[in-house]
Amino acid sequence: MLTLEKFEEASEVVKKVTQETKLVFSEYFSNQSGNKVYFKPENMQLTGAYKLRGAYYKISTLTEEERSKGLITASAGNHAQGVAYAAKAYGCKAVIVMPTTTPLMKVNRTKGYGAEVVLYGDVYDEACAKAYELAEEYGYTFIHPFDDPVVATGQGTIMMEIFKELPLVDYILVPIGGGGLATGVSTLAKLLNPKIHVVGVEPAGANCMQASLEQGKVVTLDKVNTIADGTAVKTPGSIIFPYIQQNIDEIITVGDEELVTAFLDMVENHKMVVENSGLLTVAALKHLNVKNKKVVSILSGGNMDVITMSSVVQHGLIFRDRIFTVSVLLPDKPGELSRVAAVIAEENGNVIKLEHNQFVSINRSAAVELRITLEAFGTDHKNQILAALEKEGYQPKLVRTNI
C-alpha cells in the first residue's frame, strides 16, 4: 500500500540513481498566471524523465529470482529508459516493447542502456499487450509502467522533494497518461497536507482518466490522438484508479496547439527542452481559476528528438503570429516586387520566403500572385504590416504557411 513509511523508504532508495531537481521559480509564468509558479524539472534526470524513480524502486523490491528471470515492460520511451537503466544497475536483462511510433531518440537511448527493444503496435496499449505475451512465453518479470502501487510509490518521491522545498505549496499540477505519477504524487500530497490541491493534466486527445472519473470506473477510449506521445494512453490503470478517485481534485485537458506554444515559451524564457507530455502542466497554468497561490508544475520529461523539436518550434512561431504568409495580387511589370518589399521593410517585417505565381490569372498583365512568408514580432506587428499593405493599394490575404 502507498503509506508514508513506504514513500520515505522509496525516497532513500531512489537517491542512488536520481539527480537533485530543485524547484525553479518562473517569473514569466508567474506574471502570466497571477500565481507564484515553480517548476519541478524532472526533464533534467539522468534518463531525461521521472520514470527512473518508479522503475528503480520497483526493481529494488524484487527477489533475486525475479530479477534473474529478466525484466520486461512496455513503454513509449521514458519508462523504457528507466527500466533499462535500473536493470543495468542491478545486472539483469531487460526487454522493452515500444510502439512503432516512438521517437528514434528514445529507442536508441533505451538500447544504449543495454536493453533489447521490440517495436510493436501504434500506441502504448498494443505494445503492452505484446509485452504480456512475451512475459508469458519466456517467463520474464513484468514491470508495469503505471498500474502498480510500488512503481507509483517510487514516482511519488517527487512530491516528497517538493514538500521539503516548498512546504506551503497550494497547487500541484501533474501530467496523467496511465496514472502512475499522479497516483504517487497525489497520494503523498494528501498524506502530507490534505489541503494541497492536486490537478491532473491530460491531453485533450487522450483523456482516458477524465473519462474514467466521469463514469466512476476505468474506461477505454476508442482512439487517442495527441502529440504528447508519453501520455497517449487509451486505458488508465485499474489497480491505481481508486487512489486517483480519492486524491485528484480536478482534471484539466490541454490541446496540442497549447503544447506547441508552451514549448516555445519554455525554450525562450527558461532555456529548457521539455517534451510534449511534460508540457501539459505548463499549458494548464492558464486554465487555473485561482490567483496568488503557490503552484508547482511537474515537468515530467525532456526526451524529444531534434526533428520533432524543429517542427514544434516552427508551428509555435506560426501559432504566435511570428511567422505568417500573405498573398497579394500585383501587375506583372518591373518594379512591383520592390514596391511591396519597400512597404514591408518600412514596417520592419523580415521576408523569409517569396513565391511568384504568374498563372493565377489568364490576364498576366492584370494580376500575378505574390506569396510572402514573413517574420514578425507577434499579432500586433502582423496586423501593422497588413494595414500598411492595404494602405498602399494592395489587398493582402492571409494564407496557410508552409515552411
Mean pLDDT of the chain: 93
Of the listed ranges 282-291, 304-313, 383-392, the one predicted with least confidence: 304-313
- Helices 51-60 and 157-165: crossing angle in degrees, nearest 10, is 120
Residue tagged active-site, from 26, 186, 297, 300: 300
Phi, psi of 139 (to 5 degrees): 80, 20
Neighbours of 336 (CB within 10 A): 15
Same-domain check for residues 81 and 202: no
Residues pairing with 118 in the sheet:
97
Here the CATH number for the domain that contains residue 389 is 3.30.70.260
Confidence of residue 317 (pLDDT cuts 50, 70, 90): very high
Same-domain check for residues 109 and 156: no
Last residue of a domain, one of 142, 162, 183: 142
Neighbours of 25 (CB within 10 A): 11
> The domain containing residue 90 runs over which residues?
52-142
Last residue of a domain, one of 299, 316, 333: 316
Here the CATH number for the domain that contains residue 223 is 3.40.50.1100
Q: Which pLDDT tens digit goes with each residue over 72-113?
A: 999 878 899 999 999 999 999 999 999 998 878 889 989 999
Same-domain check for residues 154 and 247: yes
Q: Which pLDDT tens digit goes with each residue over 170-219?
A: 999 999 999 999 999 999 999 999 999 999 999 999 999 999 999 999 99
The reply to whether 51 belongs to the active site is yes
Residue tagged active-site, from 6, 36, 51, 234: 51
Torsion angle, alpha carbons of 25, 169, 252, 379, to 10: -30
* C-alpha cell recorded at residue 102: 516512438
What distance in Å separates the CA atoms of residue 389 and residue 53, rounded to the nearest whole number? 56
Whether the predicted pLDDT of 362 surpasses 60 = no
Same-domain check for residues 164 and 262: yes
Same-domain check for residues 282 and 153: yes
Q: Tell the burial category of 70 from Cβ atoms under 10 Å away from its Cβ (0-12, 13-18, 19+).
A: middle
Q: How many domains does the chain have?
A: 3
Same-domain check for residues 80 and 173: no
Would you give the end-to-end CA distance of the chain in angstroms? 52
Same-domain check for residues 18 and 153: yes
Strand 197-203 and strand 171-175: the pairing is: parallel
pLDDT at 368: 84
The reply to whether 311 belongs to the active site is no
Q: With CA atoms as reference, report the closest residue to 20 among 150, 164, 167.
A: 164
Same-domain check for residues 216 and 284: yes
Last residue of a domain, one of 256, 287, 316: 316
Same-domain check for residues 21 and 35: yes
Same-domain check for residues 174 and 265: yes
Same-domain check for residues 242 and 190: yes
* C-alpha cell recorded at residue 327: 498573398
pLDDT at 361: 61
Answer for the pair 147, 58: CB distance below 8 angstroms, yes or no: no
Confidence of residue 331 (pLDDT cuts 50, 70, 90): confident
Same-domain check for residues 263 and 238: yes
